[in-house]
Amino acid sequence: MRRRFILGALGATLAGATPGISSAAGSIAPTGTIFADTSDRDYRILVGGLPGGRIDRWAHAISLGVQAILSPDALLRVQTAGGRDGVTGANRLQALVAADGHTGALLPGAAPIAYLTGDPRVHFRPGEWIPILAGINPGVIVVRGGLARLAQPSPLRLAAAAPESPDLAAILAFERLGVPISPIFGLRDISAVARAFRLGEADAVLLAGEDIPADMASLQAANGSAICTLGSSDQAGGTRREQRFPALPTVEELASSRRVATLPAPLERAYQAVVAASRLDFILILPRLTPAVSVALWRQAALGAIGQPALQSAAAASAIALTVDSAGLALAPITAPPDALLALRQFLFTRFGWRPN
């Protein structure tokens, strides 16, 4: 509810700051603007999510920020497509949208997770996406009893939504740490997880997205302690500490301190792909073959949008880092090679008897 309020207030703020927003009047373009679309064709953002849902609310907030810069003479429509995991929206962008620069898609990280796990509904390839803007969330792993619990032989009961959800990053993180787990699937929100912690039914969880400090506090009351983060990507393609939680080690650092052997190379690449997808709160993309001038225009508009204080405040309040320059860096690991995809799917089947259906 907190994020819903923040984004709703943001929409009002941006619309108020931009009189006649539908006609794109009154907005400020980024310094050094060199592109402008003077056509009167409408623009569109396809939303991979439910009407009024989290991704839809972000899409409306972003659309208010980019519209005036994107084109002074055209409307920017937001259109939802499919369920909350974004698969339908991604499929529609791949198959039905002309790459003319007038349609983008805003998708959650769950969409590339579905691709990585071999979901048969998937008819898109993230390697063909052109990234424009990414919303990156921190991933913090909380364990009942903290680091000392990792030394116990009994499996950790990991609270998770499903194998094909962003919680897959936590499943693989514990494999990377050499810690046995017994996932408890079906826990899809923090209230259910907190209840499971209080009742002693769950031992670990991956926290991501909005209001992590408050979520951590609720779990600390049940003896939960943050032990590490998924980290963030550096410019060399490696992993560094999460800037919002600099005191916490990354999974890789913690594994090294525990002297745990690295995963087999294909599964390690799969782990990095899953972590990259789990870090994505959302990503704004264009279809492949979009003209370069249109890509530049969208990126220019996105840079202008994330420079607006209202959008910055909403992102900070939701624990989201907005980036245009590093959107490609955030997406790159998701284009995992075939051996990594096979290793991931074999891992899920041999460990949990799970296969996509």
pLDDT tens-digit map of 227-251? 999 998 888 778 899 988 999 999 9
Q: How confident is the model at residue 17 (pLDDT cuts 50, 70, 90)?
A: very low
What would the pLDDT profile of 279-307 be if each residue is shown by its tens digit?
Answer: 999 999 999 999 999 999 999 999 999 99
* pLDDT for the residue 5: 42
Mean pLDDT across the chain:
87
pLDDT for res 2: 44
The answer to whether 124 and 93 are in contact (CB under 8 A) is yes
Element (H, E) at 7: helix 2-17
Indicate where the chain has its CATH 3.40.190.10 domain(s). Answer: 139-277
Q: What is the pLDDT of residue 8?
A: 52
The residue type at 167: D
**Who's near 49: CB < 8 A, 6+ residues apart?**
55, 56, 59, 80, 82, 83, 84, 86, 89, 106, 108
Tell me the CB-side half-sphere exposure of residue 121, using CA atoms within 13 A. 18
219: pLDDT strictly greater than 70:
yes
Question: What does the pLDDT read at residue 269?
Answer: 96
3-state SS assignment for residue 56 = helix
What is the distance between the terminal CA atoms of the chain, rounded to a whole angstrom? 32
User: What token pair was written down for 96?
Assistant: 């039905």
Q: Which residue has the tokens 């620069």?
A: 101
The secondary element (H helix, E strand) that includes residue 144 is strand 139-144
pLDDT top residue among 5 and 37: 37
Q: How far is residue 241's CA from residue 247's CA, in Å, rounded to a whole number? A: 8
pLDDT value of position 7: 56
Q: Is the pLDDT of residue 120 over 50?
A: yes
CATH domain 2-136+279-334 topology: D-Maltodextrin-Binding Protein; domain 2 (3.40.190)
> Which residues of the chain form CATH 3.40.190.150?
2-136+279-334
Picking from 92, 71, 87, the residue whose alpha carbon sits closest to that of residue 22 is 71
| Confidence band for 272, pLDDT divided at 50, 70 and 90 | very high
Structure tokens at 95: 């198959």
* Alpha carbons 203 and 225: distance in angstroms, whole number: 10
Task: Give the tens place of pLDDT for each residue, 129-162.
Answer: 999 999 999 899 999 999 999 999 999 999 999 9
For 139-277, give the CATH class: alpha beta
